[in-house]
Each structure stands twice: as structure tokens, then as C-alpha cells.
Structure 1
Amino acid sequence: MKVLVLGATGYIGSAVTGRLAERGHQVVALVRPKNDETRTVPGAAEVRHGDVTDPASLAAGDVDVIVHAAAPTGDEAVELAAVDALLAGGAKVVYTSGIWVLGAGTADEDGPLNPVPLVRFRAGVERRVLGAGGVVVRPGIVYGEGKGIPALLVAKAAGHGRGRYVSAGGQEPTWPTVHIDDLADLYVAAVEKGEPGTVYHGVGEEAVPLPEIAGAAARAAGLGDAGASGVEPWPVEEAAGDFGAAFAEALALGQTVSAARTRKALDWTPSRPGLVADLAGGSY
């Protein structure tokens, strides 16, 4: 199939582009306009220029599937205008949302939405995409290749001299996670087999304790076992000074998220090392 990928040079988009190409799909990468109009994207057969803030630049009537993995603007009106432009072309749209749209607690693919403020805009965008027969993918906390949010924890541990994690108090939070390579496999499955109007969860581990993640991040930062054993909670009010209030609140979110229906429907079996293992002795 001919697949347009928005955000093809980003963390998720680049992995998806490469995996789609490996599967024999013709990938068209949509990237922001640059001075270098000859820019190439690994795995892409063609590069086009456009931006989610310019709906007219998103017209793509000649593709079979569109994967929207571009960085969000956070503005619901802008995001809705972008997906409307993508849906108007008649191609199957696979939209990237995320587990934070579910809010705190335990949820599966059919759970109600209770988004934290950082991603409140996603609820309306999901409804628009699903109502038009598109597909929504909600990745967990993405890790691997030394990138993603876990890399922030490594950097903070290195700067602080101890492992630390954002906490709102009370019960220690857990994060649903997914390795970038497993997630790329899921996107390919969603492109090839995803059913119209369906939500899929990109979650390899349903609930990884955040103190364990912070300890592994300390080891990845070179602090050794002493640094890892010195893990401490970082009050969300203090972390807001570094991350901003909305992002700090999201980082402190405790969730257990199932992908059981997704695994069965798409025959998706995450197989890469878990987040703690990857932090402690892998790509970080």
C-alpha cells in the first residue's frame, strides 16, 4: 500500500516509516518545509512538505493510508482542522493519541476518557477520527533507542545525583510502557488490518512501578546501585518548575492499561525487553 506518514522524522514516525518500508509498503514522508528541498527520509520512497498548522498542505488523495504521528500542537482547533483535512481525502487514517487521555486508574480499549490537561484536546480529536471510520492508536510511555520520556529521567538522575520520579503523593504511580520497535510493529498491523472506528492500545507492560523505573534510570546515569537505592519522589509541585504544571501532572499519573483486545485483534505480541531492563542495561 501507499502510506503517507506525518512526522516521519520523529521518534515514533521514523520507526513506523522504517517498519512499513521493510514490509514492502510505499512510504511517503510528510515533513515540515525546510530550506533543503532535496531532504531524504530513511525508508521513504518520496518526501513531501506540509504542516499540521496548514490543512491545505495535508491534501493526499493519492494514498491508501495516512499515519498521523506528527508532534501535537496542543490546540484542539488546529488538531481538528488537520484531521479533517486528512479524512477528506478518503484514505484510512491512523491517528496517534496516547494513554494519558484515559486519566488515572485502570482501563482497557473501551474505557471512558478522562484526559489530563496536557492532552485534553485529544478527546475531541479521537471522536472525530473514530466517527469518520479512522483508527486510533494509544501508545504507552515509549522507550528504546535511548530516547523518549525515560531519557528525561536519566538526565534528571545524572543532574541530581539520585534517581527521582514525579509524585503527587499517596500510592506510588505505575506507567504502562511500550518499546519503540514493538510499537512500530503495532502501527504496521493497524495499517494493514485495523478495523474502521477502532481504538488500539500500544502497551507492552501494563503497569511498571515508577520507583523501579527511576532506580534503573539512576543506573543508566552511571550512579550505580547506591544511586539506584537512593530513589526519591519528586513532589509534582516542585517538578512543575522544571517541566511546567501540565507535563509534571502527566508524569505523576498512575495507570494500569490493558492492550488485551489489541493483541488479539491484530495478532500483536510485544517481545522486546521491558523498560527497566532497557534502562539498566540497554539503549540508555
Structure 2
Amino acid sequence: MRVFVTGATGFIGSAVVRELLSAGHRVVGLARSDASATALEAAGAEPYRGSLADPDGLAVAAKETDGVIHLAFDHSFTDHAGAGRADLRAVETMGAALEGTGKPLVVTSGMVTEPGLVATEDLPGDPRSAGAARVPSEAATLALAGRGVRASVLRLPASVHGRGDGGFVPRLIAVAREKGAAAVVGDGASTWPAVHRRDAARLFRLAVESAPAGARLHGVAEEGVPLRDIAAVIGRRLDVPVVRLTPEEAREHFGWFAGFASMDVRASSERTRTSLGWQPTGPTLLADLEDAGYFG
């Protein structure tokens, strides 16, 4: 297959590109800059200059390839609602270009985040969850399954980890360095699901190859890693105390990240594993914290 990948030079996207190429597929990667284009060429992929703000270009790329994996998203958190709207436009644009072709479109999303609930693939997107900005894109993707597109949604957990991670765990480490303490909210029993990026990349490949139309997939290797266990490793590695905070203290300690630091999420991938034969083999999150360069 010749696969168009948005977000192709990102932390997860670059692993997806390598996975696709190693499986014999050809890759066309969306490149917003000369540096991104150069990185894609070095990896063995074909760069396609453009951005999510260029709907005509996205439509052309989708039409000219055999399938699409959509990973690009603005994770700056400065305008999450705006990022969600841009994501929806991109999904609708590429979906319209693929209508009636039977080609695959795999769209990235986030987990349903309801405390006390083990999220499964059956659950619809929740506009109250931390990944609410992507819920409209989920709905638009699944609607395409009835319009001749082999469309699927691949939900990723809060922590997609590995060397080069720039996400949630590095933020916890940065705050601990700044504040001189690794903090948990309450007793720290709340959990984050997790997956190694190589395992996530393999799932994206399996999805574009064979996921059925209308599928919701969960890229989860660990159902839930307790935040107190993550904080314990951070405290030990930075030689700082681990402290318990009230929700009010957490807002002061973590700032804008407080909501993520107090998330309590569990998620299953049982149906995904069964349907696609996906078996995660990468290191656990706690093992990666020790060995993947998170502390410099």
C-alpha cells in the first residue's frame, strides 16, 4: 500500500512511518517544513508539503494514495477547542476524498475518561472527557463507514511512552524539578493507561491494513498505571520527596496540567487484540522511566 500519514515526523508518527516501511508499504508523509521533508526523505518516505490548514492539499494526498493514517494534532493546549475544529475539518476533507473508494482512513483519538470505569472499545466518545476536542472527529470518522470508506478510530492513552517522549510523563518530571517534589493528588491511586510507541505504531499498521469499517480500536498495553508508582520513580530519580496534594493544592502545584495529573482512567484493549491479533511487546511505562532517557 501507498499510505498517506499526517503527523509523520512526530513522536508517534515517525514510529508509524518506520513500521509501515519495514512491512513493505510506501509512505507519503505530510511535511509542514523543509526540516520535516528532509527527515521524511532520510527515513525513506516521500514528503508531501502542506498542513492541516490546507484542505485542498489533504484531499489530493488522500485521493492519490491507498489509505490514510491521521495523527497530526495541535497539542499546544493554548486553544484545544480550536485544535479540535481543525482536526474535524481535516477528517471531513480527507473522508470526502475517500468516499466510495473502500480505502482505509485511520483517525487518532483519545480515551474516554470517566473515573471508576474501565473504558472499552464499545464506549462512544465522551464530550466531558479529557479528549473531548477529538470527539466530533470520532463521530465524523465512524459516519464515513457508511459512505464507502473503511474508516476506523484508534484511541491512544494518556501515556504513549518511549525514548523521545515529549508528553505527559515528561511534564510530571519537569514540574517535580521545578517544585522540588514529585506530587500526587490524594493517595495517588488514580491511574493512566499506557502503551509503548512501537506497539502503538504496529497497531496503526494493522489498522490501515485490515481494521473493519466503523471499528473503534484501543492502543492500550497497560490498563492503568497508578500515579503514585510513577511519582515514586520520579522522586527517587530526582532525589526529591513524594508529596500528597489536595485538589486545590494540585491546581497551584501543576498549573494548567492539574486536570491531567488528577485523571483516573482505566482502559481495555481486549477487543482490539482479538480482532487484529495485536499483542504489545514493548517495555512497560515504569521500565521506560528507568531506561528510556526521561531523566537526561
What is the TM-score normalised by the length of structure 1? Answer: 0.87
Matches within 5 A, 1:199-210: 199-210=216-227
CA distance in 1, matches of 2:232, 2:66: 44
Amino acid at match of 2:262: A
Aligned twin of 1:257: 267
Structure 1 residues 54 and 161, CA gap change in structure 2 (3 angstroms): same
Aligned twin of 1:191: 208
Amino acid at match of 2:45: A
Indicate if the aligned counterparts of 1:158 and 1:218 stay in contact, CA closer than 8 A.
no
Matches within 5 A, 1:1-284: 1-32=1-32, 34=33, 39-41=38-40, 42-59=42-59, 60=61, 61-72=63-74, 74-75=81-82, 76-90=84-98, 91-99=103-111, 101-104=112-115, 105-116=117-128, 118-133=130-145, 134-140=151-157, 141-147=159-165, 148-165=167-184, 167=185, 169=186, 172-221=189-238, 223=239, 227=240, 230-240=241-251, 245=256, 247-284=257-294
CA distance in 2, matches of 1:14, 1:269: 20
Structure 1 residues 186 and 36, CA gap change in structure 2 (3 angstroms): closer
Gaps of 5+ in 1: none
1:153, distance to aligned residue in structure 2 (A): 1.7
Deviates more, 1:112-121 or 1:137-146: 112-121
CA RMSD of aligned residues (A): 2.3
Amino acid at match of 1:202: G
CA distance in 2, matches of 1:50, 1:217: 39
Structure 1 residues 242 and 96, CA gap change in structure 2 (3 angstroms): farther
CA distance in 2, matches of 1:56, 1:18: 27
CA distance in 1, matches of 2:154, 2:109: 6
Per-residue Cα deviation, 1:192-230 (whole angstroms, up to 9, x for no partner): 111111010011100111010111123343x2xxx3xx3
Indicate if the aligned counterparts of 2:192 and 2:227 stay in contact, CA closer than 8 A.
yes
CA distance in 2, matches of 1:110, 1:248: 28
Identical counterparts, % of pairs: 37
What is the TM-score normalised by the length of structure 2? Answer: 0.84
Structure 1 residues 36 and 270, CA gap change in structure 2 (3 angstroms): closer
Structure 1 residues 162 and 26, CA gap change in structure 2 (3 angstroms): same
1:242, distance to aligned residue in structure 2 (A): 7.1
Structure 1 residues 5 and 243, CA gap change in structure 2 (3 angstroms): farther
CA distance in 1, matches of 2:232, 2:130: 26
